[in-house]
Amino acid sequence: MDKPNKVCVCIPAYEQVYAYFADRLAKLFLRAGKKGLDVHLKIRSGSDLARNRNFLVQDALEINASHILWLDGDMIFPDDLIERLLAHNVDVVAGIYPTRNAPIDSTGFYNYSHELLERVYITKNGPELIEIEACGLGCMLVSINIFKQTHPPWFQFTPNHGEDIYFCKKVDTTIYADRKISLELQHIGIKPFTHKDINV
């Protein structure tokens, strides 16, 4: 018999989170409780985002979590996010969201290299899961086995990319994006941005 899922919601914060995010986080945990999901919360704050994320992985390992749900403090997401991402039963599945500073663009990539930056643009129609190479970690569910199988540091800044792209390129697994969830995500900047704000 499979072990029940234990999801560790991990938030790497600089100093604070947005009120919209706090509202959605409360609703996420309220729904999880009603659904009988085993969900825990870990927060690490500080200016070094990669360091925060690496410590959060250790926190999740210490409580024997089955998954980490990465959420950034400037995201707006549906309250049934956990159960919908778990239902895919894949090692890594994310929601792709727009950037929050102009020019607004997608944070998902089919290809990410010096030679080619091919972004993922989310549409109303299409497959439920989209196979990608990399994306931002503002909304991503990762099986804890990925961290157990991957030598640390799991996150690191390099001259070529941020800690999120570093992670996506380092792990030896397929990364998926949930199209419907992506359409429901908002990224808070001077306003909450959605995929409708992207001009392509």
CA separation for the pair 83, 77 (Å, rounded): 13
The DSSP line for 157-198 is --SS--HHHHHHHHS-S-EEEEHHHHHH-EEESSSEE-GGG-
Per-residue pLDDT, 57: 98
Per-residue pLDDT, 14: 85
| Domain assignment of residue 111, yes or no | yes
Per-residue pLDDT, 122: 96
| Domain assignment of residue 128, yes or no | yes
Q: Is 76:17 a contact under the CB 8 Å cutoff? A: no
- Tally of structural domains, the chain: 1
| Domain assignment of residue 148, yes or no | yes
Q: Is 32:39 a contact under the CB 8 Å cutoff? A: yes
| Domain assignment of residue 125, yes or no | yes
Specify the CATH number for the domain of residue 97.
3.90.550.40
| Domain assignment of residue 169, yes or no | yes
Per-residue pLDDT, 1: 45
CA separation for the pair 195, 20 (Å, rounded): 18
3-class DSSP string for 28-96? HHHHHHHCCCEEEEEEEECCCHHHHHHHHHHHHHHCCCCEEEEECCCEECCCCHHHHHHCCCCCEEECC
Per-residue pLDDT, 2: 63
| Domain assignment of residue 97, yes or no | yes
Q: Which domain holds residue 70?
A: 6-197
AA identity, residue 44? R
Per-residue pLDDT, 199: 81
| Domain assignment of residue 1, yes or no | no
pLDDT tens-place string over residues 184-193: 999 999 899 9
| Domain assignment of residue 68, yes or no | yes
- Residues of the chain with pLDDT below 70 are 1-2, 200
